[in-house]
């Protein structure tokens, strides 16, 4: 098939490369000229395991191309994916301006029948709006499909090639069949392609993310209760998660979820439901707990410093919102760093993948430029002269550091473990003050 993917971010780039890998001719379009220039030089603008090889191989074999030319992409393709961003708008709703811009441009470029697929995460009813925006610009026939994406950053290629399920929302049988053929190579092990109507598919994506976010906030709230009564949330987690009806995943307490999806999707889902007069009350609590959770470690730190951050040096291990990605959108590390530097501390930070990302204006550029945050060579370098070490992202390389060495480097041996990576008794035995989530007695 000839496919055009509009938007070469985390989703569009991975989807485009994976569709090419199964033999399709894929034309990836983005309005960001610098990004397309990098891709055409053979550079991959994001950190995502396995993506570099996949792109290089498919470009070499002539199945994958990158361009800013949307008209060319639309005209040579039968299936066009919209995979542009849907960031949070001021009122919490999803900002659909990028999606609708692309819809209009597709309409203007059309030279015949097309299948237009919403891959971006969008509120129920958006495919109808996209369809109207396309129809306003063309007399050619087309069909709309909703095909939400469930990949996880950090394992996006693997998730796309071997999905748990594929959701196709199509109100036309022939179109559903074409989409089924396109995805058939990814579900050879028998995982389902679930066909449904367009509206149900749009809701499925938000409901899935909202449920996962709910699990996280639930466990975080239980963790805070454990702190109050001197229980161990990690034991509670095991006891709860071994029930097959509940399952062990997404029950890890921490400093709250972040990233480009859960925070904005929970809020957008709430907004849409409220607008329809059917408020999702449970999600209100999920969002509130998540916001509060980021504050908890800063408060533990404040107690350690008797309320005075002035002159304190804080080492931060991990900047990305989770391991195996460089994505810092809504990363808890950003909130923590802003809070402690605002209170008078300076930060020495290290992340295995997100150092370049950290320097961007929407991340930590201002604090780096003014010397409040120093980016360090490695984890040990970050610990040098620190009064506290906060482990914010659970990268593998932070799991078993040489703590004797860390202690020798720090001014005060205090570890604040935002992911419960370490065994409290062992680390305290080494002479560290140690704080974690749901295992401290407050
Ligand atoms: P992203 O910000 O990484 O990439 C979006 C890309 O779209 C950018 O490169 C941008 O330049 C491009 N773009 C914007 N407007 C354009 C236009 N008019 N023409 C051409 N290109 C344009 O976003 P992402 O993380 O890939 O997310 C895309 C969508 O997929 C969002 O709706 C998101 O919620 C959803 N999603 C994301 C993930 C994830 O893990 N990142 C997972 C599932 C679903």
Q: What is the pLDDT of residues 168-203, one digit of tens each?
A: 999 999 999 999 999 999 999 899 999 999 999 999
- Total domain count, the chain: 3
Would you say residue 223 lies in a domain? yes
Distance 252 CA to ligand 1 centre (A): 28
- Please indicate, yes or no, whether residues 308 and 258 belong to a single structural domain of this protein: no
Assign residue 325 the CATH number of its domain.
3.40.50.720
Distance 328 CA to ligand 1 centre (A): 14
When pLDDT is cut at 50, 70 and 90, the band that residue 161 belongs to is very high
Give the residue numbers spanning the domain of 268.
Answer: 206-292
Tell me which of 271, 292, 313 is where a domain ends: 292
pTM, two decimal places: 0.95
Per-residue pLDDT of 97-112, as tens digits, reads 999 999 999 999 999 9
pLDDT of residue 441: 78
**Residue (of 319, 332, 339, 314) closest to 389 by Cα position:** 314
Chain center to CA of 300: 27
Instruction: Using CA atoms of 394, 395, 398, 399 in order, give the dihedral in degrees to the nearest 10.
Output: 70
Tell me which of 196, 230, 260 is where a domain ends: 196
Alpha-carbon distance values, 102 to 7, 23, 63, 311, 324 (Å): 9, 26, 23, 50, 30
Ligand 1, closest atom to CA 102? 18
Per-residue pLDDT of 210-256, as tens digits, reads 999 999 999 999 999 999 999 999 999 999 999 999 999 999 999 99
Would you say residue 79 lies in a domain? yes
Distance 204 CA to ligand 1 centre (A): 19
Task: Inform me whether the pLDDT recorded for 442 exceeds 80.
Answer: no
pLDDT of residue 440: 86
Q: How far apart are CA 348 and CA 400, in angstroms?
A: 20
User: Please, what is the average pLDDT of the chain?
Assistant: 97
Would you say residue 201 lies in a domain? no
Per-residue pLDDT of 283-314, as tens digits, reads 999 999 999 999 999 999 999 999 999 999 99
Tell me which of 292, 317, 348 is where a domain ends: 292
Q: Where are the beta strands (DSSP E) in 64-129?
A: 64-67, 79-82, 114-118
Task: Inform me whether the pLDDT recorded for 368 exceeds 80.
Answer: yes
Would you say residue 44 lies in a domain? yes
Ligand 1, closest atom to CA 98? 15
- Please indicate, yes or no, whether residues 134 and 253 belong to a single structural domain of this protein: no
Would you say residue 440 lies in a domain? no
- Please indicate, yes or no, whether residues 112 and 154 belong to a single structural domain of this protein: yes
> Using a 6 Å CB cutoff, which residues line ligand 1?
6-12, 29-32, 35, 83-86, 98, 101-102, 120-121, 149, 151, 153, 260-261
- Residue 280 three-state SS: coil
- Please indicate, yes or no, whether residues 177 and 87 belong to a single structural domain of this protein: yes
Q: How far apart are CA 59 and CA 427, in angstroms?
A: 49
- Choose the residue to mutate in 4, 6, 7, 165 for probing ligand 1, maximizing ligand atoms within 8 Å of C-beta: 7
Nearest CA to ligand 1 atom 1: 9
- Please indicate, yes or no, whether residues 308 and 288 belong to a single structural domain of this protein: no
Assign residue 265 the CATH number of its domain.
1.10.1040.10
- Please indicate, yes or no, whether residues 221 and 281 belong to a single structural domain of this protein: yes
Ligand 1, closest atom to CA 11? 26
Nearest CA to ligand 1 atom 43: 149
- Please indicate, yes or no, whether residues 186 and 38 belong to a single structural domain of this protein: yes
CB atoms within 10 A of CB 238: 12
- Please indicate, yes or no, whether residues 22 and 119 belong to a single structural domain of this protein: yes
Mean pLDDT of 406-419: 98
Mean pLDDT of 392-402: 97
Would you say residue 257 lies in a domain? yes
Would you say residue 317 lies in a domain? yes
Chain center to CA of 122: 16
Alpha-carbon distance values, 284 to 2, 8, 36, 79 (Å): 43, 32, 39, 38
- Please indicate, yes or no, whether residues 159 and 229 belong to a single structural domain of this protein: no
- Please indicate, yes or no, whether residues 285 and 320 belong to a single structural domain of this protein: no
CB atoms within 10 A of CB 288: 12
Chain center to CA of 311: 34
Mean pLDDT of 67-81: 98
- Please indicate, yes or no, whether residues 190 and 225 belong to a single structural domain of this protein: no
Nearest CA to ligand 1 atom 19: 31
- Residue 348 three-state SS: strand
- Please indicate, yes or no, whether residues 101 and 224 belong to a single structural domain of this protein: no
Residues labelled catalytic: 261
What DSSP string describes 193-208? Answer: EEEE-HHHHHHHHHHH
Distance 371 CA to ligand 1 centre (A): 32
Distance 186 CA to ligand 1 centre (A): 22
Would you say residue 442 lies in a domain? no
Mean pLDDT of 41-58: 96
Nearest CA to ligand 1 atom 15: 98
Distance 120 CA to ligand 1 centre (A): 7
């Amino acid at each position: 098939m000839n496919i055009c993917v509009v938007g070469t971010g985390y989703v569009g780039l991975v989807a485009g490369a994976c569709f090419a890998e199964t033999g399709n001719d894929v034309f990836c379009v983005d309005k960001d000229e610098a990004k397309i220039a990098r891709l055409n030089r053979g550079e991959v603008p994001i950190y995502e395991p396995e993506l570099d090889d996949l792109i290089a191989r498919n470009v070499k074999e002539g199945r994958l191309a990158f361009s800013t030319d949307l008209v060319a992409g639309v005209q040579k393709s039968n299936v066009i994916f919209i995979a542009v961003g849907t960031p949070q708008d001021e009122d919490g709703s999803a900002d659909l301006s990028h999606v609708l811009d692309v819809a209009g441009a597709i309409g203007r470029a059309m030279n015949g029948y097309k299948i237009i697929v919403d891959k971006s995460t969008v509120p129920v009813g958006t495919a109808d709006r996209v369809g109207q925006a396309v129809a306003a610009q063309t007399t050619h026939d087309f069909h709309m499909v909703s095909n939400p994406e469930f990949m996880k950053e950090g394992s996006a290629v693997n998730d796309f090639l071997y999905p748990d399920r594929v959701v196709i929302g199509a109100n036309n049988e022939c179109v559903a069949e074409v989409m089924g053929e396109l995805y058939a190579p990814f579900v050879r092990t028998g995982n389902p392609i679930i066909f449904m109507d367009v509206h149900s598919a749009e809701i499925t994506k938000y409901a899935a993310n909202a449920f996962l976010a709910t699990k996280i906030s639930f466990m975080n709230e239980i963790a805070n209760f454990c702190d109050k009564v001197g229980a161990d949330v990690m034991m509670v987690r095991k006891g709860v998660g071994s029930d097959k009806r509940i399952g062990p995943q997404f029950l890890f307490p921490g400093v709250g979820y972040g990233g480009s999806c859960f925070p904005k999707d929970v809020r957008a889902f709430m907004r849409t439901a409220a607008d329809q007069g059917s408020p999702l009350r449970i999600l209100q609590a999920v969002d509130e707990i998540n916001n509060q959770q980021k504050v908890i470690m800063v408060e533990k730190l404040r107690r350690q410093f008797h309320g005075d951050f002035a002159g304190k040096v804080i080492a931060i291990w991990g900047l990305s919102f989770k391991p195996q990605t460089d994505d810092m959108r809504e990363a808890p590390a950003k909130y923590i760093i802003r809070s402690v530097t605002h209170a008078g501390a300076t930060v020495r930070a290290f992340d295995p993948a997100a150092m370049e990302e950290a320097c961007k204006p929407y991340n930590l550029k201002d604090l780096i430029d003014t010397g409040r945050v120093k980016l360090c060579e490695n984890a040990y370098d970050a610990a040098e002269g620190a009064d506290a070490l906060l482990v914010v992202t659970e990268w593998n390389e932070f799991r078993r550091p040489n703590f004797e060495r860390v202690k020798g480097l720090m001014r005060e041996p205090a570890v604040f473990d935002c992911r419960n990576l370490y065994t409290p008794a062992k680390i305290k035995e080494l002479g560290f003050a140690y704080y974690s989530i749901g295992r401290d007695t407050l």
